[in-house]
Amino acid sequence: MAGYNKVILIGNLTRDPELRYTSKGLAIARLGLAVNRSWRDSASGELKEEVTFVDIDAFGKQAETLGQYMKKGSPLMVEGRLRLDTWEDKQTNQKRSKLGVVLESFQFLDSRSNREPGSPDAPRNRPAAAQPATSSPAAEGGDAPPDEDDVPF
């Protein structure tokens, strides 16, 4: 049976990216993304909103780029795949699981062209063009995340 696992999300970072390195030097960034959805209730006509919080893991050069240029509140578009993490809770000895996203590509969404160079929000050492990082996961150290023993979280 064939499968397809693709996610595209647009939202704002809930915290600054947490950038760490494995013992082999692979960069890993953990991000939190808030994705908003608004709709009008058909019965009451009231405007309603829900927020979904998604944990995202980025690897390699993309992780370093996100760690350098993004901060809490920054808008971001993410393309990736869903991954189910499972573990045993050491306190309750119960199996736990969490659905997250492994980043495959991203695109900066905020326009920094209106900001003054040298202002606090101006990027440091930003490339000339803010192009999306589109390198493949295979080129960034493999399709699979590093071994659990190498992850510094």
- For residue range 114-146, list pLDDT tens digits in order: 444 444 454 444 433 334 444 444 444 444 566
Residue 17 lies in a domain: yes
Residue 126 lies in a domain: no
Nearest one of 63, 56, 67 to 32, comparing CA atoms: 56
Residue 134 lies in a domain: no
- The domain that holds 27 is classified in CATH as 2.40.50.140
- For residue range 50-74, list pLDDT tens digits in order: 999 999 999 999 999 999 999 999 9
The number of domains in the chain is: 1
**Mean pLDDT for all residues in the chain:** 83
Residue 121 lies in a domain: no
Domain range for 48 = 1-110
What pTM does this model have?
Answer: 0.70
Residue 103 lies in a domain: yes
Residue 138 lies in a domain: no
Residue 28 lies in a domain: yes
Residue 73 lies in a domain: yes
Using CB atoms within 10 A of its CB, is residue 128 exposed (0-12), middle (13-18) or buried (19+)? Answer: exposed
- For residue range 104-113, list pLDDT tens digits in order: 999 999 766 4
Two structure tokens written together for 34: 């808030």
Nearest one of 27, 124, 136 to 70, comparing CA atoms: 124
